[in-house]
């Protein structure tokens, strides 16, 4: 094949670490390992950076989703590969489909005409909190110099009556809010102060100051929702705190049947993160920021960081098998599609790989890694494109977050649905258009799609191409003006957690709004890989600690 010939040979052929896939966890590991002085080879079978964390044009997104979903297709390297050396066994790798139930609809041709003007996130909706781990890591690694951010203008939460109300997320937001009653303002801010008092008291434990303000250990271990009840907060305020600030997925009022009960301790941490984010950077008006050109900029920034530190990059380079020592079963290296064999001490792979057949007894250890990467859950994601904003009456609002707490759209809605609207000022779509990302954690595709459709029905109107029901459309339009849906892509993504074995498997994008859980997992994997190295050690400079606090460090366009 002509293609095979175009694969460039890689020199040298031995590295400390080979990383396959350029998603955010892999890129961070590659950058951190390079910074720690390791020789790193970073490969990606795709022509673009970011793997499952990338931002793509409309067409690329469509073909990537299709290529990664379970269509009956033939693996190009089906024939079992033989290692060149008899002491080495080769385990063939195939792509495992992470996406299913892909459903792409186009209602307007103008969208695909502008395909290249879109930067659509595969793992949306996703934002950064100004004080979260991703921002800290960007600053620590100095990868922040490659990304620019803008703040998300506002966030809304759906109340019990289907109305979207502003999320009063800080003292000044509570003050400004026009919909809360005075009593609610008082309750909400009192609760913020209670939490703040607790955090300050915890910080000064031992000094004897304010220890009375510490929330009791018993309360901290209780479900957060019970603590909110104990504080006599009404349902509306509870819902704001749980779903729009602490960003909880599952219905916390479901009692025993709730899958993931948030403890008070964690709830308070999330509230603290949110509040630390508000006002961390003077240019960012709220708690949330988004990278210009899309989330795909983040893995790229870490890759550039890694490249500066000497990491070697080869894109469009599939790995066809993992090479193992036949006797010991230890990892040895990889075989590339070009036929070249590269050896390394360690291997990190993104979770879209698996092996075809069960290997012999001696190789069980490695295969366990692939077995361990079992699907732990499902996530329904949707991308929608419109020509108007959710809040056309607010010209300053081009980006916003909308939260539909459990049961707010339909009675058996079990999880929160989060929607992120982004405008062209973030360079993710042509001007005059808006991109919406929707996600909901779900048990199965059916439930997930139901959530997506419910949110879409509530947000958008659909113009069908036929004129048959134009009278009906007119009627709808006259009562409330909803943005008309031009294009949508709905898909269900498998959630796979990272795993540490003889080779390392990184996690898939999770269902959270920010990267905190992913980055914690990544950092843990790195520590297991290199227990003696720190993930981006502080630069030994006297004013480095001040620099972190420096306002100008993260570039936020206002």
Partner 1 sequence: MHGRPRKSATPVDENASALKAAKIRSLQSQFLENHHNHIYTKEALEINAKLIECNPEFMTAWNYRKLAFEHNISSQSESEKADSDHIKSIVDEELRVVENALRKNFKSYGAWHHRKWVLSKGNSSTERELRLLNLFQKQDTRNFHAWNYRRFIAGLKNISDEKELQFTTDMINDNFSNYSAWHNRSVLLSHLLEKKVEGYFPKEIFLKEEYEFVRNAVFTDPDDQSGWFYHLWLLDQTVKVDMPNLVSSWPPHGSEITKTTFPVILLFNEPVEGVNLHTVSVQVENDITKNTTWSPLSANKFKCGQAWLTHLTIPPGEFNSSKIFQVKISSEYPQGIISLNGVPCSRNWSFAFGVSVCHDVQPEGHSLRISMGEENFSTIDVNSNMMNFLKSNFDLATDYEQPTSSKWKSELIASEIDQYRELLSWAECKIGKLTLARLLMANDAMITDTAVAPNMTHVEEVLQLYSELMELDPTHYQCYKDEYSLVFLKQVTSSKESLMKYCCQYKESMSLNITGNVCLRFNSLSLSRMGSFERLLWVQSLDLSHNQLHSIEGLEALQLLSCLNLSHNKLVSFMALDPLRFMKSLRVLNISYNEIGAHTVDTRRYLCSSPLSHTLDYDKRFEEFATSDEKVVNFWDAYSVFSGLDIMQLDITGNAAVDERFVLFLVKLFPGLKWLDGEELH
Nearer to partner 1, 10 or 201 (CB): 201
Indicate whether 174 belongs to the interface with partner 1 (CB under 8 A).
Answer: yes
Choose one: 58-66, 119-127, 176-184, 256-264; the region binding partner 1 (CB under 8 A): 176-184
| Nearest-angstrom CA–CA distance, 376 and 167 | 31
Nearer to partner 1, 285 or 362 (CB): 285
Residue 251 contacts residue 414 (beta carbons within 8 Å): yes
Q: Which of 39, 145, 189, 204 binds partner 1 (CB under 8 A)?
A: 189
Indicate whether 183 belongs to the interface with partner 1 (CB under 8 A).
Answer: yes
Count CA atoms within 13 Å of residue 142 on its CB side.
11
Nearer to partner 1, 221 or 551 (CB): 551
3-state secondary structure 90-143: EEEEEECCCEEEEEEEECCHHHHHCHHHCCEECCCCCCEECCCHHHHHHHHHCH
Q: Which of 73, 82, 160, 175 binds partner 1 (CB under 8 A)?
A: 175
Indicate whether 187 belongs to the interface with partner 1 (CB under 8 A).
Answer: yes
**Strands in 282-366 per DSSP E:** 288-291, 312-314, 319-325, 331-336, 341-349, 353-355
Indicate whether 234 belongs to the interface with partner 1 (CB under 8 A).
Answer: no
Closest CA to 320 of 522, 76, 22, 143: 76
Indicate whether 213 belongs to the interface with partner 1 (CB under 8 A).
Answer: no
Tokens of 412: 């058996």
Nearer to partner 1, 175 or 410 (CB): 175
Indicate whether 230 belongs to the interface with partner 1 (CB under 8 A).
Answer: no
Residue 103 contacts residue 490 (beta carbons within 8 Å): yes
Indicate whether 179 belongs to the interface with partner 1 (CB under 8 A).
Answer: no
Indicate whether 325 belongs to the interface with partner 1 (CB under 8 A).
Answer: no
Q: H or E stretch including 417?
A: strand 417-423
Distances in Å between the alpha carbon of 349 and those of 21, 89, 92, 223?
6, 18, 14, 36
How big is the site for partner 1, counted in residues (CB under 8 A)?
14
Indicate whether 552 belongs to the interface with partner 1 (CB under 8 A).
Answer: no
Indicate whether 193 belongs to the interface with partner 1 (CB under 8 A).
Answer: yes
Indicate whether 163 belongs to the interface with partner 1 (CB under 8 A).
Answer: no
Closest approach, Cβ 186 to partner 1, in A, equals 5
Indicate whether 464 belongs to the interface with partner 1 (CB under 8 A).
Answer: no
Residue 285 contacts residue 137 (beta carbons within 8 Å): no
Footprint on residues 270-299 left by partner 1 (CB under 8 A): 282
Q: Say if residue 12 is preceded by a cis peptide, omega within 30 of 0.
A: yes
Q: Which of 75, 78, 163, 190 binds partner 1 (CB under 8 A)?
A: 190
Q: Which of 172, 328, 360, 364 binds partner 1 (CB under 8 A)?
A: 172
| Nearest-angstrom CA–CA distance, 387 and 379 | 26
* Interface with partner 1 (CB under 8 A): 171-172, 174-176, 182-183, 185-187, 189-190, 193, 282
């Amino acid at each position: 094949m002509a293609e095979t010939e175009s694969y460039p040979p890689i020199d040298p052929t031995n590295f400390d670490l080979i990383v396959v896939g350029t998603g955010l966890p892999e890129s961070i590991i590659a950058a951190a390992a390079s910074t720690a002085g390791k020789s790193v080879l970073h490969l990606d079978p795709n022509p673009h950076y970011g793997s499952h964390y990338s931002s793509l044009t409309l067409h690329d997104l469509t073909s990537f989703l299709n290529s990664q979903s379970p269509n009956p297709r033939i693996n190009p390297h089906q024939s079992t590969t033989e290692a060149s050396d008899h002491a080495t066994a080769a385990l063939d790798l195939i792509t495992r489909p992470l996406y299913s139930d892909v459903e792409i609809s186009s209602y307007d041709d103008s969208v695909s005409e502008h395909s290249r003007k879109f930067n659509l996130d595969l793992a949306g909706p996703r934002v950064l909190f100004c004080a979260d781990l991703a921002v800290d890591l960007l600053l620590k690694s100095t990868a922040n110099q490659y990304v620019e951010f803008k703040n998300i203008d506002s966030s809304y939460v759906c109340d019990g009556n289907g109305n979207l109300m502003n999320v009063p997320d800080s003292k000044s937001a509570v003050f400004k809010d026009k919909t809360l009653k005075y009593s609610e303002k008082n309750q909400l801010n009192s609760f913020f102060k209670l939490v703040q008092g607790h955090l300050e008291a915890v910080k000064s434990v031992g000094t004897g100051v304010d220890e009375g303000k510490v929330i009791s250990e018993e309360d901290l271990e209780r479900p957060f929702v019970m603590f909110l009840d104990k504080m006599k907060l009404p349902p509306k305020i509870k819902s704001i705190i749980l779903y729009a600030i602490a960003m909880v997925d599952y219905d916390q009022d479901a009692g025993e049947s709730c899958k993931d009960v948030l403890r008070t301790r964690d709830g308070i941490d999330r509230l603290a993160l949110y509040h630390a984010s508000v006002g961390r950077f003077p240019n960012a008006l709220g708690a949330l920021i988004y990278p210009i050109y899309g989330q795909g900029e983040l893995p790229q920034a870490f890759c550039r960081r890694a490249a500066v530190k000497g990491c070697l990059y080869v894109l469009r380079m599939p790995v066809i098998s993992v090479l193992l020592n036949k006797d010991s079963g230890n990892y040895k290296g990889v075989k590339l599609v070009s036929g070249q064999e590269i050896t390394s001490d360690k291997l990190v792979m993104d979770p879209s790989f698996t092996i075809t057949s069960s290997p012999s007894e001696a190789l069980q250890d490695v295969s366990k890694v692939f077995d361990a990467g079992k699907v732990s859950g499902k996530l329904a994601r949707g991308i929608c494109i419109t020509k108007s904003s959710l809040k056309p009456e607010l010209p300053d609002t081009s980006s916003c977050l909308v939260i539909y707490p459990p049961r707010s759209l339909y009675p058996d809605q079990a999880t929160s649905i989060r929607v992120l609207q982004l405008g062209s000022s973030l360079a993710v779509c042509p001007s005059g258009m808006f991109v919406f990302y929707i996600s909901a954690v779900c048990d199965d595709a059916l439930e997930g799609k139901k959530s997506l459709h419910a949110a879409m029905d509530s947000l958008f109107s659909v113009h069908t191409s036929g004129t048959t029901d134009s009278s009906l459309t007119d009627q709808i339009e006259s009562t409330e003006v909803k943005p008309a849906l031009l294009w949508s892509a709905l898909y269900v993504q498998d959630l796979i957690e990272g795993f540490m074995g003889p080779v390392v498997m990184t996690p898939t994008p999770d269902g959270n709004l920010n990267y905190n859980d992913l980055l914690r997992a990544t950092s843990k994997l790195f520590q297991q890989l290199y227990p003696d190295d720190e993930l981006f050690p502080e630069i030994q400079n006297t004013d480095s600690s001040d620099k972190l606090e420096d306002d100008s460090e993260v570039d936020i366009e206002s």
